[in-house]
Chains A and B, each alone.
Chain A
Amino acid sequence: MLRKPLYSLFGVLIVLSLLLAACGTAETPTDAPAEPTAPAEEPMEEEPTEAPVAEEPMEEGPCLIIGALHGGPINDAGYNQAMHESVAAIGENIDCVEIIEAENVPEEAGAITTIENMISEGAGMIIATAFNHQYPALELAGKYPDVIFEHAGGWEMSGNFANFFGEPPEAWYLMGVAAGQMTETDKLGFVAAFPIGWTLTFANAFHLGAQSVNPDVETTVSYTFNWADSAKEADATNALINQGIDVVTMHVDSPATVVSTAESRGAYSVGFQSTHAQEFAPEYWISGTGYTLGDTLTWLAGNVIDGSWEPIFLRCGLWDGCMDMAPFGPRVPQEVQDEVMTVSSALESGELVVFTGPVYDQEGNVVVAEGEVLGPDLMSAVDWLAQGMIGSPQ
């Protein structure tokens, strides 16, 4: 009897909230998309037909609503920004597409809420760009068979779930070639997030590339155990440089911290994830690579729109336009640049293949036998570091 005031009050509050909620759901929540990804009005591929059919089918709603989720902030000058720009390119290339974006989406189960929210807003295609969003996306793919799911960098496939990614190892090899020639102390540093297969593959490719032009080179790998912890990245970079390393690169979400720190210490840096990284090191920049998957994603979205989409394991590299190489920095001499371009041609033509045997690990065991090549399917399962590298592959 004494609890009545409390309960009745809560009753009132809940009724109020439900009323607000009812008004909320009455309006179709397809308001302005979260990000101002409204395409700049560039001339489209089709000739603008200014005929009396002036009213575009915009009034019927978008032809496809795409929900894109990122694990970090979209302006991080790194992976998330590269992915964001690739997604935004879809909107620029296809006029009738509407894009909903969410950034800083938590991993695993937290992503499920976001994806379901997007689907409830009408998304017909979900692009999950963070590595850790694979399983939640896969689970929801089973629950929503009419929605197409594309994941970046994973390996799972199903009827409405596929993945896409660039092909970094060759780009890394090229960066290694440049770094190996630029270093004066023969010590290179690699700041990594987690010792996952892809990271080890990148580090190995980098080191092998450097080794090919400088056999004495040594690469130290340091883990921050976080995709985006800038303080730890600064810690690692400083500690590496204090050990005498003069070229630093990284595999973390954003190259900004590592590159800025290296620049402030007068060490060379090689960027990754996004070519925007160059802004952070005007002087000691060597080069870098970034993902430019805009055209790929546009192609995938186009497939979804016209109904021809099929799940494929899509990988494309430097020479397919999926990855871009940043311009060389001001301190890189012409001979180094030429050497890199030569190696690049060799890689492009297939004359040279990264991870051609024999490749040895840190203890000297053969991990890729003579005459064999490490295939792309095995790259994400790599668990060793090449000879001449310091650090633990665990």
Chain B
Amino acid sequence: MSTSSASSRRSSASVQILSGAVGRYVSMLVLALVIFGIIIWISGRNPIVSYRELFGSTLGSWRGFSEVLVAMTPMLLTALAVAIPSRIGLINVGGEGQLYMGAAAATWGALTFSEAPAWILLPLMAALGMLGGALWALVPGLLRATGLVNETITTLLLNAVAPLLVAFLVFGSWHSPMDTNRTPTFVEAARLPTLPGTRIDLGLLIGILLLAAFWLFMRYTRWGLEMRAIGGNPEAAQRNGVPVKIYIVAVLCVGGAIAGMAGMSQVSGYYGVLLTGFSRGIGFLGFLISWLSFGNPVGIFLTSFMVAVIITGGSMLQLTTALPYAVINILLAMALFVVLAGINIFPRRSTG
């Protein structure tokens, strides 16, 4: 169906995007490392030693590397939760909230059906998690489809409501007898299986599979084509018979479902319990990762990895440099600033 000129145009655009991406990643890392190194030095520590510790603890040992993968798992999913709606021009900043609601729904399943065997319980929890996240994205989707309120605002606001609801549930009827800010520890059957010897749970595999599925879907299915059409020009797509409103609601809900899945994998895999306030910005990091990679699945994978290295390494940095753990956020922010300041090469439209 495509002529040779169209495909060569596509490939040259891809080259441009890729080389731009390469330049982006390089400058992101180098400049950020330099600036953060200066900050470490000002605080009276040796930057070289600190960086050695950071990379040594994360990439230098199997345990450290596995921890990076553990940290990466939810971010893959929350980034995907932003990337999918972004293909039709929707902005989903609500990953945080959808994550919490997915976690809450999955927890309900774990607590209510604790007698069930794992092969029933886990898929049930996954389904519940996705349902919880999707429901949380439903109202923003409807409001946007009917033209009442932009999904950017609604998802942002609902972000703040979700952890409050979770707290209400946990402190209300769900808490374990001795500890009021957590539920009882999940039964074995409700825990996602982990790779032996590590804490890497099935969520990682699910994330990678979903990324691949996303890529295939957008490229090879009719719905993917229609989504790209909407992303390029909504009015034209509407005129050509694409049911834009339905896509808006459906796609936003899919995004929510995936973020909800991230929530489920966090409580079922990583924590094994529902804690109030368990997410320190995973949803927002997902937004940033998706944005940095222009919603490209490979980019999401690589960027999540980089961010995970930074975050996991920060934990070791605290022990060796006595800098507060939160300081690692500066490195993260520096990397982001560098990319944000540098990007004016590709206007947003060409990537949808």
Residue numbers of A with Cβ under 8 A of B are: 2-3, 5-6, 9-10, 13-14, 17-18, 20-25, 27, 29, 31, 34-35, 73, 100, 102-109, 112-114, 116-118, 120-121, 131-132, 135, 155, 194-197, 225, 380-381, 394
Contacts and interface: CB of A to CB of B under 8 A. Distances in A.
B53 A29 contact: yes
Contacts of A104: 324-326
A193 to B, nearest CB: 9
Interface stretch (B87-95, B310-318, B338-346): B310-318
A35 B318 CA distance: 10
Given A17-B59, A21-B56, A194-B181, A9 B51 contact: no
A20 B55 contact: yes
B219 interface: no
B243 interface: no
Contact of A102 (B14, B309, B319): B319
Nearest to A69: B319
A102 B317 CA distance: 10
Given A20-B51, A22-B60, A35 B180 contact: no
B56 A25 contact: yes
A113 to B, nearest CB: 5
Contacts of A197: 178
Q: Secondary structure at chain B's binding surface: helix, strand, loop or mixed? A: helix
B97 to A, nearest CB: 19
Contacts of A102: 318-319
Given A2-B15, A31-B320, A117 B57 contact: yes
Contacts of B177: 381
A118 B319 contact: yes
Contacts of B58: 21
B56 A23 contact: yes
Contact of A381 (B15, B178, B180, B322): B178
A87 B57 CA distance: 26
A225 B169 CA distance: 13
Interface residues of B, number: 56
Contacts of A118: 319
A258 B278 CA distance: 26
Given A21-B55, A29-B53, A104-B326, 13 more contacts: A17-B55, A17-B59, A20-B55, A29-B320, A31-B49, A100-B319, A102-B319, A112-B199, A113-B315, A118-B319, A120-B63, A155-B178, A394-B172
21 contacts: A2-B15, A3-B18, A5-B22, A6-B298, A9-B22, A13-B26, A21-B59, A21-B60, A24-B52, A24-B53, A25-B60, A34-B321, A102-B318, A102-B319, A105-B325, A108-B182, A109-B271, A117-B316, A197-B178, A225-B171, A380-B178
Nearest to B173: A394
A83 B280 CA distance: 26
Nearest to B59: A21
A34 B320 contact: yes
A120 B316 CA distance: 11
B275 A108 contact: yes
Contact of B180 (A14, A121, A195): A195
Contacts of B271: 108-109
Contacts of B60: 18, 21-22, 24-25
B29 interface: yes
Given A197-B178, A225-B167, A380-B178, A6 B325 contact: no
B19 interface: yes
Contacts of A109: 199, 270-272
A194 to B, nearest CB: 5
A211 B282 CA distance: 48
A280 to B, nearest CB: 23
A107 to B, nearest CB: 6
B11 A2 contact: yes
A34 B318 contact: yes
B180 A196 contact: yes
B131 interface: no
